[in-house]
Copies of this chain bind each other. A is one copy, B any other.
Amino acid sequence: MTTTYQDNLLDWLRDAHAMEQQAETLLRAQSSRLENYPVLKSRIDQHLEETLGQQRLLEGALTQAGGDTSLLKDLAGKAMALGQGLVGMTMTDEVVKGAMSGYVFENVEIASYTVLIAAAESAGDVRTRGVCEQILKQEVAMAQWLLDHLPELTQAFLARDATPGLTARR
Protein backbone atom coordinates (compact mmCIF):
# COMPACT_ATOMS: atom_id res chain seq x y z
CA MET A 1 0.00 0.00 0.00
CA THR A 2 1.30 3.44 -0.86
CA THR A 3 0.69 6.74 0.88
CA THR A 4 0.62 10.00 -1.05
CA TYR A 5 2.71 13.06 -0.25
CA GLN A 6 -0.52 14.87 0.57
CA ASP A 7 -1.72 12.22 3.07
CA ASN A 8 1.54 12.35 4.98
CA LEU A 9 1.55 16.15 4.92
CA LEU A 10 -1.97 16.34 6.36
CA ASP A 11 -1.13 13.79 9.08
CA TRP A 12 1.91 15.77 10.12
CA LEU A 13 0.02 19.08 10.09
CA ARG A 14 -2.53 17.54 12.50
CA ASP A 15 0.33 16.28 14.69
CA ALA A 16 1.78 19.80 14.71
CA HIS A 17 -1.54 21.27 15.80
CA ALA A 18 -1.80 18.76 18.69
CA MET A 19 1.78 19.63 19.61
CA GLU A 20 0.97 23.35 19.79
CA GLN A 21 -2.01 22.60 22.02
CA GLN A 22 0.30 20.71 24.31
CA ALA A 23 2.79 23.58 24.12
CA GLU A 24 0.04 25.91 25.30
CA THR A 25 -0.67 23.65 28.30
CA LEU A 26 3.00 23.42 29.22
CA LEU A 27 3.67 27.14 28.86
CA ARG A 28 0.60 28.10 30.95
CA ALA A 29 1.60 25.63 33.68
CA GLN A 30 5.19 26.85 33.81
CA SER A 31 4.25 30.51 33.81
CA SER A 32 1.71 30.09 36.61
CA ARG A 33 4.20 28.27 38.85
CA LEU A 34 7.20 30.60 38.49
CA GLU A 35 7.63 33.01 41.41
CA ASN A 36 11.25 34.08 41.62
CA TYR A 37 12.42 34.12 38.00
CA PRO A 38 10.59 37.04 36.33
CA VAL A 39 12.73 37.20 33.17
CA LEU A 40 12.00 33.54 32.34
CA LYS A 41 8.31 33.99 33.15
CA SER A 42 8.04 36.98 30.84
CA ARG A 43 9.69 35.15 27.92
CA ILE A 44 7.37 32.17 28.45
CA ASP A 45 4.32 34.49 28.39
CA GLN A 46 5.55 36.01 25.13
CA HIS A 47 5.94 32.57 23.58
CA LEU A 48 2.47 31.56 24.81
CA GLU A 49 1.02 34.36 22.69
CA GLU A 50 3.09 33.18 19.71
CA THR A 51 1.86 29.63 20.28
CA LEU A 52 -1.80 30.70 20.10
CA GLY A 53 -1.05 32.43 16.81
CA GLN A 54 0.70 29.29 15.53
CA GLN A 55 -2.40 27.20 16.30
CA ARG A 56 -4.47 29.53 14.11
CA LEU A 57 -1.86 29.44 11.34
CA LEU A 58 -1.89 25.64 11.36
CA GLU A 59 -5.69 25.52 11.27
CA GLY A 60 -5.60 27.80 8.21
CA ALA A 61 -2.95 25.65 6.52
CA LEU A 62 -4.93 22.47 7.22
CA THR A 63 -8.14 23.90 5.82
CA GLN A 64 -6.37 25.24 2.77
CA ALA A 65 -4.63 21.91 2.14
CA GLY A 66 -7.98 20.11 2.23
CA GLY A 67 -7.68 18.61 5.71
CA ASP A 68 -10.54 18.12 8.15
CA THR A 69 -10.13 20.40 11.19
CA SER A 70 -13.04 18.78 13.06
CA LEU A 71 -10.66 16.01 14.13
CA LEU A 72 -8.31 18.43 15.82
CA LYS A 73 -9.99 18.45 19.22
CA ASP A 74 -9.76 14.69 19.56
CA LEU A 75 -6.08 14.73 18.77
CA ALA A 76 -5.24 17.17 21.54
CA GLY A 77 -5.33 14.38 24.11
CA LYS A 78 -2.94 12.21 22.14
CA ALA A 79 -0.14 14.75 22.22
CA MET A 80 3.39 13.41 21.94
CA ALA A 81 4.76 11.38 24.82
CA LEU A 82 7.97 13.38 24.55
CA GLY A 83 6.44 16.35 26.32
CA GLN A 84 4.77 14.40 29.10
CA GLY A 85 5.76 14.69 32.70
CA LEU A 86 6.68 18.34 32.46
CA VAL A 87 3.56 19.81 34.06
CA GLY A 88 3.09 20.16 37.80
CA MET A 89 6.63 19.18 38.55
CA THR A 90 7.52 18.65 42.17
CA MET A 91 11.27 18.20 41.93
CA THR A 92 13.50 20.43 44.03
CA ASP A 93 15.25 21.84 40.95
CA GLU A 94 11.95 22.54 39.20
CA VAL A 95 12.98 25.85 37.60
CA VAL A 96 16.07 24.31 36.01
CA LYS A 97 14.27 21.15 34.83
CA GLY A 98 11.41 23.34 33.60
CA ALA A 99 13.68 25.49 31.46
CA MET A 100 15.44 22.36 30.17
CA SER A 101 12.07 20.80 29.32
CA GLY A 102 10.96 23.98 27.60
CA TYR A 103 14.13 23.94 25.51
CA VAL A 104 13.58 20.27 24.65
CA PHE A 105 9.96 20.88 23.70
CA GLU A 106 11.05 23.72 21.41
CA ASN A 107 13.34 21.23 19.72
CA VAL A 108 10.46 18.78 19.28
CA GLU A 109 8.78 21.65 17.46
CA ILE A 110 11.90 22.53 15.46
CA ALA A 111 12.19 18.92 14.26
CA SER A 112 8.47 18.83 13.41
CA TYR A 113 8.50 22.00 11.32
CA THR A 114 11.72 20.96 9.59
CA VAL A 115 9.97 17.75 8.52
CA LEU A 116 6.80 19.64 7.54
CA ILE A 117 8.74 22.11 5.39
CA ALA A 118 10.37 19.22 3.50
CA ALA A 119 6.98 17.46 3.18
CA ALA A 120 5.25 20.62 1.91
CA GLU A 121 8.06 21.01 -0.62
CA SER A 122 7.58 17.42 -1.81
CA ALA A 123 3.82 17.98 -2.05
CA GLY A 124 4.31 21.27 -3.94
CA ASP A 125 2.36 23.13 -1.24
CA VAL A 126 4.00 26.56 -1.19
CA ARG A 127 1.55 28.11 1.29
CA THR A 128 2.00 25.43 3.96
CA ARG A 129 5.73 25.64 3.49
CA GLY A 130 5.61 29.40 4.12
CA VAL A 131 3.46 29.02 7.23
CA CYS A 132 5.81 26.38 8.66
CA GLU A 133 8.89 28.49 7.92
CA GLN A 134 7.27 31.41 9.74
CA ILE A 135 6.49 29.28 12.81
CA LEU A 136 9.92 27.60 12.75
CA LYS A 137 11.61 30.99 13.19
CA GLN A 138 9.68 31.61 16.40
CA GLU A 139 10.55 28.16 17.76
CA VAL A 140 14.24 28.58 16.95
CA ALA A 141 14.26 31.98 18.68
CA MET A 142 12.62 30.55 21.81
CA ALA A 143 14.95 27.53 21.90
CA GLN A 144 18.01 29.78 21.52
CA TRP A 145 16.77 32.16 24.24
CA LEU A 146 16.29 29.26 26.68
CA LEU A 147 19.70 27.75 25.91
CA ASP A 148 21.41 31.14 26.20
CA HIS A 149 19.77 31.78 29.59
CA LEU A 150 20.18 28.27 31.00
CA PRO A 151 23.65 28.90 32.54
CA GLU A 152 22.62 32.06 34.43
CA LEU A 153 19.32 30.48 35.47
CA THR A 154 21.20 27.43 36.79
CA GLN A 155 23.61 29.60 38.74
CA ALA A 156 20.78 31.76 40.12
CA PHE A 157 18.99 28.59 41.25
CA LEU A 158 22.16 27.18 42.87
CA ALA A 159 22.85 30.44 44.71
CA ARG A 160 19.28 30.61 46.06
CA ASP A 161 19.38 26.91 46.93
CA ALA A 162 22.52 27.43 49.00
CA THR A 163 21.04 30.42 50.87
CA PRO A 164 18.98 29.77 54.03
CA GLY A 165 15.49 31.30 53.88
CA LEU A 166 15.24 31.60 50.09
CA THR A 167 12.99 29.48 47.88
CA ALA A 168 14.96 28.26 44.91
CA ARG A 169 12.83 25.73 43.10
CA ARG A 170 10.39 28.04 41.31
User: CB within 8 A of A104: which of B11, B92, B96, B111?
Assistant: B111
Assess whether A154 is interfacial by the CB under 8 Å rule.
Answer: yes
Q: A3-B161, A104-B107, A119-B154 are in contact. List 5 more A-B contacts (CB 8 A).
A: A2-B163, A3-B92, A8-B93, A118-B150, A122-B155
With contact pairs A151-B114, A154-B115 given, residues A5 and B104 touching in the complex (Cβ less than 8 Å): no
A141-159, CB under 8 A of B: which get 1 and which 0?
A: 0010001001110110011
Partner of A158, one of B104, B107, B122: B122
Q: Which of A36-44, A52-60, A77-85 contacts B (4 or more CB under 8 A)?
A: A77-85
Q: Which residues of A in the span 106-140 have a Cβ within 8 Å of any Cβ on B? A: 107-108, 110-112, 114-115, 117-119, 121-122
- Choose among B85, B110, B122, B152 the residue that contacts A81 (Cβ–Cβ < 8 A): B85
**Per-residue CB proximity of A77-104 to B under 8 Å, as 1/0?**
0000111110000001100100111011
Q: Is the interface on chain A under 10, 10 to 19, 20 to 34, or 35 or more residues?
A: 35 or more
Would A150 and B114 count as touching, CB distance under 8 A?
A: yes
Q: Is A164 an interface residue (CB 8 A)?
A: yes
Minimal beta-carbon separation of A117 from chain B (angstroms)? 7
Residues of B within 8 A of A119 (CB): 154-155, 158
State which of B2, B85, B92 has its C-beta within 8 Å of the C-beta of A161: B2
Does A4 sit at the interface, judged by CB under 8 A? yes
In the bound complex, residues from chain B placing their C-beta under 8 Å from that of A112 are 100
**In angstroms, how far is the closest chain B Cβ from the Cβ of A14?**
13
Who on chain B is nearest to A9 by CB? B158
Which of B2, B104, B158 sits near A164, CB closer than 8 Å? B2
